[in-house]
Chains A and B, each alone.
Chain A
Amino acid sequence: MASDNLPSEFDVVILGTGLTESIIASACSRVGQKVLHIDRRNYYSSKWAGFNFNSLLSWIEEYKSQQGSQSTEDEAEWRKTLEDGEEVLPLSADDSFITNLEVSCYASLEAEEEVKENEEATETLSPAAPSPTEPEEETKGKGEGESSPDVTQETTTSGETQHTQEDGGCGVQEEGASQDAGQSEEIEQKEQQEDTTAGPPSSAKEVKKKKITYADLVKEGRRFNIDLVSKLIYSRGSLVDLLIQSKVSRYTEFKIVTRILTYRQGRVEQVPCSRADVFASKQLTMVEKRMLMKFLTFCLDFEQHPEEYQEVSDQPFWEFLQTKKLTENLQHFVLHSIAMVTKETCTEDGLKATQHFLRCLGRYGNTPFLFPLYGLGEIPQCFCRMSAVFGGIYCLRHSVQCLVVDKETNGCKAVIDTQGQRISCSHFVVEDSFVRQRWKNTEEGHISRAVLITDRSVLPADSDQQISLLTAPPLEPGGPAVHVVELCSSSMTCMPGTFLVHLTCSSKGTAREDLESLIAQMFYVPPSPGEELAEGDERSGRPTVMWAMYFNMLDISRMDGSNGFDLPSNVHVCTGPDVNLGCDYSVKLAEKIFRQLLPEEEFCPPAPDPEDIIYEGVAPQGEGSGFEENPKTEGSPLQSEADGLENHPESEKEAAEVEAPIQETPKEALKEDASPSEE
């Protein structure tokens, strides 16, 4: 809160709080470097940021108002601090990385009052004012009460607003605020109901479901966490390893991705990938089950069987699959949903991808993937917190306008921040969008993204709390394959009763051009807000889109770190995120840059565990509280702290609540003897 001046000397100055920059910040602070970590925006995570619905609308507004406006910095005081032999290298004032942003609202814009009246009618059916922690019976009773009156509350107010917005959202923010608390409780109730009743499938409930309006989305806006970047985390990937090893994992929890889906011939199907799935699958015949098990078992240790693939290892994987006695159905599953590669990928890479997928299975759950609670935008912040705990200094709404470069050595000696303060540093680490004009070549790619808020899952199941990954193969040859991640409310990224759907692909055109037709096939996109489907329409089973956003994101991950830039050698550029599903690119880049910065130092060693410091009641003072005055300063205070903690008895450690992952190694999951006996 206090706004002191920043100190003027650091070892490392880092601009941008995306994943790569944040990992570097925590790695450097952890080994005792003095780190200044700043971001031009007023939020953490840069390109990786996640916003609640209302801040996303403001972010969109801001994005639009910034289009075209250029701030011109005055020649200023700081010039006087320049010495002989120093020159100035300006950074981009425009660091935008988003293009073609479009927002559309399809949820009903119906006036509040009508909804409220209706609610009050149902409200009277439930006895006391419900509290969120009420026992189950109450909520059930309420659910039934709801069923009676309100099917026809949908009125046509759609005429009053254009649904495709140039001004971001539908401008109902004020309306949202004027609503009373009744509705929020109602939603609370639904959440409970959904959580507790695992039983009846959605169909019965759907009839009772109250229509969610745009005002509801705004009112419950804080329940959304909408990420700009959509990725999943491989349970045996480099990010999981890093989180565990560094103990940054203490700052966050995850949900397991529960289903892998595929989209084929207009149908969404679940892909069986674990042994249990394969045998439970209703789509596969017995023969197919055997074939698939045999093939997957081979993939798990394919290196042991060179005779099976070596001759064709650089031929397309797709052709290889066709020689493998797999039905077309299975070939499709393996290529698109398990290996998740294209038809052109070579056999060896395809096998490796399949193997990686299989190895990740069963570590934490039935699919290879995890998703962070509250969204991916949490992850960079976890690393920032770790950096701050180890002395990193944080400052948002603060940027660097230029670098001070020594002409002779071509090294960056200092940066000039946006306040005109000169801050010296030995290394400068920067997010790629600030140095766009320093590219040596202009090979730039883009990622096409769409974000949808929908009213039901693309594949309803017994429990609607599913997190699904769907890989949609190109609709036409040469088109992009699309990753679709569907999140439910228990992932803490959307309000109960809604789903948040992220679509991602490599750009061929604008995001809308790339993704609109797939969306039109898989979802119902109302022609005007709130418009419902006619009875018996072929689209009637599909999720309805309530709100949609399209944008393209710059992707220069192919530039490969700093090599593609014309910059001093101690300036390190964090490119990415890339278009791939996992986070591995950004994690590996962080480690690579860290090794360039501090080749001698360990990368993210474990932080001492605060849980190890437990004092019960009035405990006598002794060793290693971690807080006491430690006369050993300067030298390596970190190490001495850590050592003290490690000496603590194991028994205390065990007191910490640890949820052990489901232990089932992939090998066991796919044992040879996997005869279909358990059916």
Chain B
Amino acid sequence: MAGGSVTECKEYLFKVLVIGELGVGKTSIIKRYVHQLFSQHYRATIGVDFALKVINWDSKTLVRLQLWDIAGQERFGNMTRVYYKEAVGAFVVFDVTRGSTFEAVAKWKHDLDSKVKLANGSPIPSVLLANKCDQKKDSSNNASLMDNFCKETGFLGWFETSAKENINVDEAARSLVEHILQNDKGLPYEESNGDRVRLEQDPATAESKSGCC
């Protein structure tokens, strides 16, 4: 970076969890946000555990957002620590057309807070998503109730979203990322984890394995 005259761009990698009850639209929201896609019915999507969204946050900041879906299969028991490890933010999703999925939100939030914390010990920032708002029947507005709920349960805030109609998905993500960036000031990914090793196939190994030495 020394002598870099043109851009001094900071790059961040954020792991964000997307959790909530069965069928509330977690995968749909990710697909909408990352791939600009929506579909009414899904085939089993197997072998994909997170999606990556690259955001040019501002002229000096590049954010790489890893959105981790829960493997539907983990729903019977706990998720592995691997899933929660080093997450810096979360979306908890419920389905506005099914009250039971809202009732489970507090449970998810509690589970989340018990499994992952920021380095300083505080809970990771999380945003509540009231999904499928395109299908909301009664227009009864209980915004203040929701505000209160968020305060009590420790959410930054909430958004009515629709993965189908592309309502508020970007807004919700922006609000979460903004918060994460605030938490994380001055700690770009590369620098904070300097001496950690990721395993990758190194070309030299492939060769030296086959012969000589």
On whether the beta carbons of B43 and A660 are closer than 8 Å, the reply is no
Partner of B213, one of A3, A256, A397, A667: A667
Q: Across the interface, which residues of B come within 8 angstroms of A388, CB to CB? A: 71, 73-74, 80
The complex places the Cα of A389 from the Cα of B111 at a distance, in Å, of: 20
B193 touching A641 by the CB < 8 A rule? Answer: no
- How far does the alpha carbon of A388 sit from the alpha carbon of B46 in the complex, in Å? 9
Q: How far is the CB of B163 from chain A (nearest CB, A)?
A: 12
Chain B proximity of A581: nearest CB distance (Å): 19
* Contact partners of A188 in chain B: CB under 8 A: 119-120
Given contacts A255-B197, A385-B71, A395-B77, A363 and B47 within 8 Å (CB-CB): no
Interchain CB contact (< 8 A) of B45 among A397, A627, A665 = A627
Cβ of A343 to closest chain B Cβ, rounded Å: 28
Instruction: Chain B residues near A222: list those with CB within 8 A.
Output: 117, 121
Q: How large is the interface on B (under 10, 10 to 19, 20 to 34, 35 or more residues)?
A: 35 or more
A301 to B212, CA, bound (A): 9
Binary contact track B182-213/A, C-beta < 8 Å → 1, others 0: 00111101100101111111101100100001
Chain B residues whose C-beta falls within 8 Å of the C-beta of A610 in the assembled complex: 48-52, 66
Interface string of A15-42 (1 = CB under 8 A from B): 0000000000000000000000010001
The interface residues of chain B lying within 8 Å CB-to-CB of A38 are 77
Q: How far is the CB of A627 from chain B (nearest CB, A)?
A: 5
Beyond A1-B111, A249-B200, A637-B44, is A625–B37 a contact (Cβ under 8 Å)?
yes
- Give the segment of A261-269, A324-332, A507-515, A611-619 that binds chain B: A611-619
- A636-679 interface code vs B (CB 8 A; 1 in, 0 out): 01100110000000000000011111010101000000000000
Interface residues of A in 338-377 (CB under 8 A from B): 359, 363-365, 370, 373-374
Q: How far is the CA of A391 from the CA of B204 in the complex (A)?
A: 34
A132 touches B196 (CB 8 A): no
Q: Confirm or deny: B85 has a beta carbon within 8 angstroms of a beta carbon on chain A.
A: yes
Partner of A616, one of B50, B54, B213: B54
Q: Which of B56, B121, B197, B208 contacts A665 (CB 8 A)?
A: B208
Contact B71 A389 (CB under 8 A): yes
* Bound-complex Cα distance A614 to B107 (A): 32
Asked whether any CB of chain A lies closer than 8 Å to the CB of B60, the reply is no
Within 8 Å by CB of B77, from A131, A396, A661, lies A396
CA of A608 to CA of B47, assembled, Å: 7
Taking CB atoms, residues of chain A closer than 8 Å to B52 are 610-611, 613-614
Neighbouring B residues of A373 by C-beta, 8 Å: 196
- Nearest Cβ in chain B — how far from A131, in angstroms? 8
The answer to whether B47 touches A642 (Cβ under 8 A) is: yes
**A447, CB-defined interface residue at 8 Å:** no
- Cβ of A318 within 8 Å of any chain B Cβ, yes or no, is no
User: Is A165 among interface residues, defined by CB-CB distance under 8 A?
Assistant: no
Query: Could you give, for residues 225-255 of chain A, a 1 whenever the CB lies within 8 Å of some chain B CB and a 0 otherwise?
Result: 0000000000010001001110001011111
A627 touches B76 (CB 8 A): no
Within 8 A of A (CB), among B40-91: 41-54, 56, 66, 71, 73-78, 80-83, 85
Return chain A residues, CB-CB under 8 Å to B73. Answer: 388, 391-394
A300 at the interface (CB under 8 A from B): yes
Distance between B138 CB and nearest chain A CB, rounded to angstroms: 26
Q: Is the CB–CB distance between A255 and B195 below 8 Å?
A: yes
In the bound complex, do residue B36 and residue A619 qualify as a contact, i.e. CB atoms below 8 Å apart? yes
In the assembled complex, which residues on chain A have CB atoms less than 8 Å from the CB atom of B146?
none
B46 x A390 contact (CB < 8 A): yes
The answer to the question of B21 belonging to the interface, with a C-beta cut-off of 8 Å to chain A, is yes
For B49, what are the chain A residues with a Cβ–Cβ distance below 8 Å? 385, 389, 610
Q: B81 contacts which of A184, A374, A389, A628 (Cβ < 8 Å)? A: A374
Asked whether B39 is an interface residue with its Cβ less than 8 Å from the other chain, the reply is: yes
CB within 8 Å for A394 and B196 given contacts A2-B22, A244-B201, A614-B52: no
Cβ of B119: which chain A residues have Cβ within 8 Å of it?
A: 132, 188
Minimum C-beta distance from B182 to chain A (A): 10
Q: Are B199 and A240 in contact (CB under 8 A)?
A: yes
Q: Which residue in chain A gives the minimum CB-CB distance to B183?
A: A133
Contact: A627 with B77, CB < 8 Å? no
Decide if A378 is an interface residue (CB 8 Å cutoff): yes
Pairwise interchain contact A370-B53, C-beta atoms closer than 8 A: no
Q: Please judge, given known A-B contacts A1-B104, A381-B81, A629-B39, whether A370 and B197 are in contact too, CB under 8 Å.
A: yes
Check A1–B204 contact: CB distance below 8 A.
no
Q: A393 contacts which of B54, B56, B76 (Cβ < 8 Å)? A: B76
Classify chain A: how many residues form its interface, as a range. Answer: 35 or more
A222 to B22, CA, bound (A): 30
Q: Are A663 and B197 in contact (CB under 8 A)?
A: no
Q: Interface code B93-123, partner A: CB below 8 Å = 1, 0 otherwise?
A: 0000000000010011001000001011100
Cα distance A389–B46 in the bound complex, in angstroms: 6
Please determine whether B34 and A615 come into contact, CB atoms closer than 8 angstroms: yes
- Pairwise interchain contact B200-A660, C-beta atoms closer than 8 A: yes
A373→B194 CA distance, assembly (Å): 13
Say yes or no: is A633 at the interface (Cβ < 8 Å to chain B): yes
CB atoms of A641 and B50 under 8 A apart = no
- B35 at interface by CB-CB < 8 Å: yes
Picked from B44, B120, B189, B197, the residue with its CB within 8 Å of the CB of A132 is B120
A89 on interface, CB distance cutoff 8 Å:
no
0/1 string, A588-628, CB within 8 A of B gives 1: 00000000000000000001101101111111010001111
Q: Which of B37, B46, B197 contacts A254 (CB 8 A)?
A: B197
Contacts of B51 in A (CB 8 A): 610, 613, 627
A630 at the interface (CB under 8 A from B): yes
Query: How far is the CB of B133 from the nearest CB of chain A, in Å?
Result: 22
Q: How far is the CA of A363 from the CA of B49 in the complex (A)?
A: 29
How distant is the Cα of A236 from the Cα of B204 in the complex, in angstroms? 12
Whether A627 and B37, one on each chain, are in contact in the complex, defined by CB atoms closer than 8 angstroms, is: yes
Q: State whether the Cβ of A382 lies closer than 8 Å to any Cβ in chain B.
A: yes
Q: For the complex, give the distance between the alpha carbons of A617 and B57 in Å.
A: 11
> Could you tell me if A363 and B205 are in contact, using CB atoms closer than 8 angstroms?
yes
Contact A1:B48 (CB < 8 A) given known A244-B199, A663-B204, A667-B213: no
Indicate if A48 sits at the interface (CB-CB under 8 A).
no
B10: Cβ under 8 A from any A Cβ: no
Cβ-defined contact, B75 with A1, below 8 A: yes
For residue B156, CB closer than 8 A to chain A, the reply is no
- Considering the chains assembled together, what is the distance between the CA atoms of A6 and B75 in angstroms? 11
B36 near A184 (CB under 8 angstroms)? no
**A290 within 8 A of partner (CB):** no
User: A621: which of B37, B43, B195 is its contact (CB, 8 Å)?
Assistant: B37
For B185, the chain A residues whose CB sits under 8 A away are 133
Q: Which residues of A contact B164 (CB under 8 A)?
A: none
Residues of A within 8 A of B78 (CB): 42-44, 394, 396
Q: Which residues of A contact B71 (CB under 8 A)?
A: 385, 388-389
Of all chain B residues, which has the CB nearest A387?
Answer: B73
Complex: how many Å from CA A619 to CA B66? 17
Give the contacts of A7-21 with B (CB-CB under 8 A).
none
Other contacts beyond A381-B81, A394-B76: 13, CB < 8 A = A6-B76, A131-B120, A133-B185, A133-B186, A236-B205, A251-B85, A255-B196, A359-B213, A395-B76, A613-B48, A616-B54, A627-B27, A629-B43
What is B's interface to A at a CB cutoff of 8 Å? Answer: 13, 21-22, 27, 31, 34-37, 39, 41-54, 56, 66, 71, 73-78, 80-83, 85, 104, 107-108, 111, 117, 119-121, 184-187, 189-190, 193, 195-202, 204-205, 208, 213
**13 A-B contacts, Cβ less than 8 Å apart?**
A1-B75, A132-B119, A249-B199, A251-B85, A253-B193, A254-B199, A300-B213, A373-B196, A389-B71, A390-B46, A396-B77, A613-B52, A629-B42
- The 3 A-B pairs of least Cβ separation, nearest first, read A388-B71, A396-B77, A249-B199
